[in-house]
Structures are given as structure tokens and as C-alpha cells.
Structure 1
Amino acid sequence: MSANVSNTTRRSVLRLALGATLAAPLVATGCSVLNGSDSKSSSGGNGSGPVEKSKITVGILSSQGSVGSKLAEKYGYYKNEGLEVTLKPFAQGPQAIPALINGELDFAVINYVSFFTAIANRSLDAKIVVDGDTANETSQLVIAKPDSGIRGPKDLVGKKVGIQASKSAAELLVRATLKDNDVDPNSVSYQPVTFPNIPAAIASGQLDAGVEVEPYLTTAQQKQGLVPVMKIVTGSTANIPNTGYIATTKFIEANPKTVAAFQRAMIPAQRDAADRSKVAQVLPDLSGVDAATATLLNIDTFPTSTNPTQLQRVITLLQNYGGMTAQLDAANLIVPTPQV
């Protein structure tokens, strides 16, 4: 009888101990679930833990290259990844570089010609985090008056052509197109006139023609009656990468989870940019055009990952027509897109 009581007591103690042992993981799991819920708000619930910096500032442009950021904001993709994002507009991408370097910005949209030039000059230590947009043959064109007599590359010889800025992507694309058509790239007078001011400069006779991008390409046809006269995103420059989101190497190394969260948020946003109706919803706020005009714009392509081979073409363009002597490898200047 005493032995039975003793055995019963031992079994009870074992049951209590086993119950406590099993309960401990359940309690810990319960805490983990709660913490995981909090973590989801700061890391997108992908199991990588909280981002290092949840409040970030992104420098954007009024161009199509920034469409993804507006879509990510509109559809909550940033929020889903635990990011509270402030979008700060800049008139030109290079203007955002000092703000990026001093930490005022965490990411910035910049055209690749300016980016690779800054890298080559060692005035910037940064990498590409997200590929913004790829130009197509209808979204960047040379425009002129209908009666200008300009119909193709040979007609630009001796003419004054607006190219946004000296050694800009616009100038390099014109030079490459002229070369492709056996026209001396130096036979044109390249005039640094900004995109918003090119249509009026052509209309007044200050320029014979000019490189234009959206939304100014469409509004120039509406307001000044200008017409496209030459494609520059064709042949050797077809589907040339246009802009990207960059971050300093210092920021990337200090905030890898934040960078990955930003990239993950941008993937569905870039995918949405293939839907013209969604792009039209954000273009008025981004570019200042009205809703009706937004539906008429020639839309770029918006990659969901970054292709080093394609980006190397911009470096080659700079080496061939921009005077770059630095031997850059685009693959070393990219933060790989995370798998989702």
C-alpha cells in the first residue's frame, strides 16, 4: 500500500514536471507570436527581425523613374514592410546627392548617367538598390517644330539641340544615335536647357530641336504644337536603363534589413507600374499634369529586379560618348534584389 502511494506520488510529480516543461515553450511561443506581430509592423513579418530604421526619407523626381515610390506609398507596400516613408521631391537627381551623403536622405532616385559619373569621379560612394525605369523609343524623343525641316539624324547637323545638361543622358543618347546613323556626333551644337524649358525655347527659336521626356513630351505637343522628329532610344541604345534608387554604401552596411525591406516594398510597386491605370493615378501628383493628360503619356518599363548586364550598357555609353575613362563594373555597384 505504501509503495503504491509512493509510485502514485512519483507519477503525479512527473506529470506536473512534464506539464511545466511543455507549458514553458507554449508561453515562450505565445510571447514570440506577440513579438512577431510587433515585428511584422517593422519588418514585414518575413522573419528577418525589425528594420534598423523604420522612418526613412526618399528623394524623388517628377519623372517616371519615381512612379514606383508613389505606388508603394499609395498601396501601403512600405507600411507592409514596417517602413514609414517620407517622399521628398527634387528638381534633378544630382541635386539629391549632397542630401544623400549628409544623411538627410536615405534613398534617392537619380539617372544612371549622373550616378556612374559620380562613382567614376569618386564624389559618391553608393550602390543601386532598386532599378527605377527603363526608357523606350516613345518616351524619350527629339522634338521640333513641324516646319523645322528636321526629320532624322542627318537633319540635325549644324542645329542647336537642347539636351538638359552637358554630358547628360540626353546628350549621350543623341550622340550615340548620330553615330549609329553615320553622322558625326560633334556636328551638332548641344545646348544645356532643362526639360521643362525646352519646348518654349524651341517655340521661340532659341533652339532648333531638343530632347524631351515625359510629361513634357506630351505637353509640348499639346501646348506648342511640337512634333517628334527623331528616336534616340533605339539601335544600340534600345531599352536603355534610365533611373534607379540609390543609397550610400555607409547606409547600406549599417541598415541591411531596412534596405531589404525597401526593396521588398518596391517589387509589387514596380509590378503595379505595368498597369497603366495605376500609373495614371499617381502621375498627376508626381508630375503635375492633369488626370486627362496622365492617360496620354508614353510610359516607360519598370523592372522588378536589377540587371547588371543592362546597367553596364550605360557605363559603355559614358565611355564611348561621355569621356569616361574609369573601368566600372555594374555588378559591383548593385545590392541584389531579395527573393520574395
Structure 2
Amino acid sequence: MNKTFWKQFAIALALFLAGYFTFNGKLFAQTLEKPKVSIAVGGKNLFYYLPLTVAEQLGYFKDEGLQVEISDFAGGAKALQALVGGSADVVSGAYEHTINMQAKGQSITAFVLQGRAPQIVLAVSNKTMPNYKSIADLKGKKIGVTAPGSSTNMMANFVLAKGGLKPTDVSFIGVGTSAGALAAMRSGQIDAIANLDPVVTMLQQKNDVRVIADTRTLKDTNDVFGGPMPAATLYTTDAFLKKNPNTAQALTNAMVRALKWLQKAGPSDIIKVVPESYLLGDRALYIDAFMKVREAISPDGMIPDAGPKTALKTLQAFDPELASKNIDLAKTYTNELVKKANAKYK
């Protein structure tokens, strides 16, 4: 064997011992404990989860040495069930679930923020409630949410509570996040809807609904919740984070890179990246909807310190049981992985 071979072998051995590895010809620091990762998401087509789609479609997960399989569910509550049941390693879902699960004795941690505003809109049907005047008018009505127990359900509960109604004063019906939600509203199956874009913008365009609470911008979010409200995150069990720190870092790196890309991307760039099915048959409307929620996308993946407090206060407003629990918010999230990712992708 020639000198070149032994020189390359020595370099490879040194890198291996130093904790480096190669994947598709690229060099990565730290060996991934779990290169194949399954992520559950509730409504992947929503702008709420656009950073996840960007990371997937642009190959950012692969660039970190990961093989990511994404399973799409009807709503965030279903995605959470996949994590708890063991069929998913990580969830792309609402931050609030980390608080609810701690109250139930299960430790789940959010480790990268995708959205700094929930983007959820509560609207009433112009067909079944043309004379709507106040929240009190929703008593006894049917409200469509992505899935019962999801973040859309939680947002609706909070708005109802501010208006003097309890969750039990209405009927919540799961309608999903795309064509099914549109059909449920337009056919009169539901009287109100808590959903996200592009669904909401499509309903507004046809004058199907009247918006009564909107969290697509930072100002609107502050008006509704009284402070910054963390939205979509990547979250997982404490056990996964402890067992797979390098894998979690790789996931965070890919997501932060996607967030940075989104800060510079134009509408035409987004159209080229997302699957055709996301457009729901209307490219111009999709772009219009994206412009409405653009500022809601996190620029860096950091969960603001005041955010978890706002989320806890929101949940306690309509959940008496949670109000009596002693929640340690510091255990519901971490920004440590995001800080490292931002140092890598500036």
C-alpha cells in the first residue's frame, strides 16, 4: 500500500477518535446516536410548520447526516400521542403541550422555536351566524378545530374564557387543516372555526367567515394573549434529549438554517420549495396568506423568556386543574441547542 493510503487512513482514524464522521462525502462533528429520526406533525401543510418543510425539502436534515421520516396527523394532539406512544421520536408541534404534559407527570422539552406567533384565527360562519355580536353568541354552537386537544382548541378555549364561556359551553369538532376544514365551514357543519393559513385566508377570500380573534401578527398575538406566545416548536422527551444530544443538535441545526433561509426568501422562493398540494389549487392566494404570517416565523429559533409565562397563564385561564399545579417552566424548554446552531449558521 502506498503512502497516500496510509496518510488518508491516519487522518480518518484521527477524525474518528476525535468524534467526527462522514456522510455522503461531508464531514460532521460528533457521531449521531440516532441517524434515523421520526418526526410527527399535525398539519404539515400549514405555514405554522413551514420551517419543518423547508428543512426537509432543501435537504438540511440530510446535510446534518440525518434521515428524517415525517408523519403527518390531523392535529397536534394526534402528533403528541405518537410521541407518547413511542411511534415518533420528536414532534413538530405547539409549545403548550410541554406544559400540559408536565402537569400530567411527563417531562417533554421544546428545543427549537419555529413560530413566535401562533397564527391561529378564530372566525364565525357568515352562513350560520350572520348576526354574531359577541363571544356569548357561541354558546351551544359547534366550533371546528384541527383536532380536539390541539393548539387550535386551546386558543379557542382561551378566547371563550375571556368572553365568559367554558370549553363545555360549546361542541368542538375536528376538521383537519386543509380541504376538510373548508368543506365543514362552507357546508354549515360548524358555526365557527379555529384554524390557520392558508385555510383561513381562503375562507376570508370567499367571505365565508368573520374573524373575531387573530394571532397571525406579533401585535395581534400580544392583544389576544397579553404577551409573546411561543407557537410551533420541535419538542421531545427528556429521555431522548439525554440519550441523543448530538442528534438533537443536528435537528436544531437544520431547523435554524431553515429559519435563516425563510428570513431572506421571497414568495416565489417559497412556491418553488413547498409541495404543490400545499397550495390548495390557488398559488396567488397561498402567496397572499404567506405575506400575512411572515413575521410570525421565528428568525433564530430562540424561545423568548416571557413566552412560557404567557403560555402558562393562557392555559390556566380555562383549565382550573392546571391552575392548581406547580409548573416548572424552566423544564419545558431549552435554548442551549439553538445557541449552538446560531453560532454555526449566522
Cα distance in 2, alignment partners of residues 126 and 42 from structure 1: 33
Quote the residue 1:327 is aligned against. 326
Quote the residue 2:64 is aligned against. 81
Quote the residue 2:339 is aligned against. 338
CA change 1:241–1:228 in 2 (3 A) is farther
Quote the residue 1:250 is aligned against. 239
Given the two structures, how large is their TM-score scaled by the length of structure 2?
0.74
**Deviation per CA, 1:312-337, whole angstroms, max 9, x where unpaired?**
21111111223313222332122322
Quote the residue 1:5 is aligned against. none
**Structure 1 contact 42–83 (Cα < 8 Å) conserved:** no
Quote the residue 1:119 is aligned against. 102
**Deviation per CA, 1:49-95, whole angstroms, max 9, x where unpaired?**
21111121211232223221221122221122111212221222222
Alignment of 1:25-40 (within 5 A): 28-29=10-11, 31-32=13-14, 39-40=21-22
**Deviation per CA, 1:125-145, whole angstroms, max 9, x where unpaired?**
3211221223366x5241421
Quote the residue 1:214 is aligned against. 197
Point out the structure with max Rg over C-alpha: 1
Quote the residue 2:3 is aligned against. none
Cα distance in 1, alignment partners of residues 155 and 34 from structure 2: 38
Alignment of 1:1-340 (within 5 A): 28-29=10-11, 31-32=13-14, 39-41=21-23, 45=27, 47=29, 49-61=30-42, 62=44, 63-122=46-105, 124-135=106-117, 140-145=121-126, 148-150=129-131, 153=134, 156=137, 158=139, 160-164=141-145, 168-174=150-156, 176-177=158-159, 183-186=163-166, 189-196=169-176, 197-222=180-205, 225-233=207-215, 234=220, 235-237=223-225, 240-274=229-263, 275-277=265-267, 278-284=269-275, 287=278, 289-290=280-281, 292=283, 293-297=285-289, 298-299=292-293, 301-303=296-298, 304-323=301-320, 324=322, 325-335=324-334, 336=336, 337-339=338-340, 340=343
RMSD: 3.6
Q: Which runs of 5+ in 1 are unaligned?
A: 1-23
CA change 1:152–1:195 in 2 (3 A) is farther
Cα distance in 2, alignment partners of residues 148 and 322 from structure 1: 27
Look up the equivalent residue of 1:140 and give its one-letter code.
V
Helix, strand or coil: the match of 1:327?
Answer: coil
Look up the equivalent residue of 2:196 and give its one-letter code.
V
Deviation at 1:269, TM superposition (A): 0.5
Look up the equivalent residue of 1:50 and give its one-letter code.
T
Helix, strand or coil: the match of 1:273?
Answer: helix
Cα distance in 2, alignment partners of residues 207 and 29 from structure 1: 65
Deviation at 1:252, TM superposition (A): 0.9
Helix, strand or coil: the match of 1:210?
Answer: strand
**Structure 2 contact 122–156 (Cα < 8 Å) conserved:** no
Helix, strand or coil: the match of 2:312?
Answer: helix
Given the two structures, how large is their TM-score scaled by the length of structure 1?
0.76
**Deviation per CA, 1:187-221, whole angstroms, max 9, x where unpaired?**
99422122445544444444333223222212324
CA change 1:263–1:239 in 2 (3 A) is same
Look up the equivalent residue of 2:31 and give its one-letter code.
P
Deviation at 1:266, TM superposition (A): 0.8
**Structure 2 contact 125–191 (Cα < 8 Å) conserved:** yes
Q: Which runs of 5+ in 2 are unaligned?
A: 1-5
**Structure 1 contact 162–209 (Cα < 8 Å) conserved:** yes
**Structure 2 contact 118–230 (Cα < 8 Å) conserved:** no
Look up the equivalent residue of 1:51 and give its one-letter code.
L
**Deviation per CA, 1:227-252, whole angstroms, max 9, x where unpaired?**
33312433142652222211111111
CA change 1:91–1:176 in 2 (3 A) is closer
**Structure 2 contact 139–165 (Cα < 8 Å) conserved:** no
Deviation at 1:152, TM superposition (A): 5.5
CA change 1:159–1:46 in 2 (3 A) is same
**Structure 1 contact 173–232 (Cα < 8 Å) conserved:** no
Look up the equivalent residue of 2:297 and give its one-letter code.
F
Cα distance in 2, alignment partners of residues 172 and 145 from structure 1: 23
How many residue pairs get aligned? The number is 311
CA change 1:307–1:148 in 2 (3 A) is same
Identity of matched residues, %:
19
**Structure 1 contact 163–194 (Cα < 8 Å) conserved:** yes
Helix, strand or coil: the match of 1:299?
Answer: helix
CA change 1:151–1:105 in 2 (3 A) is same
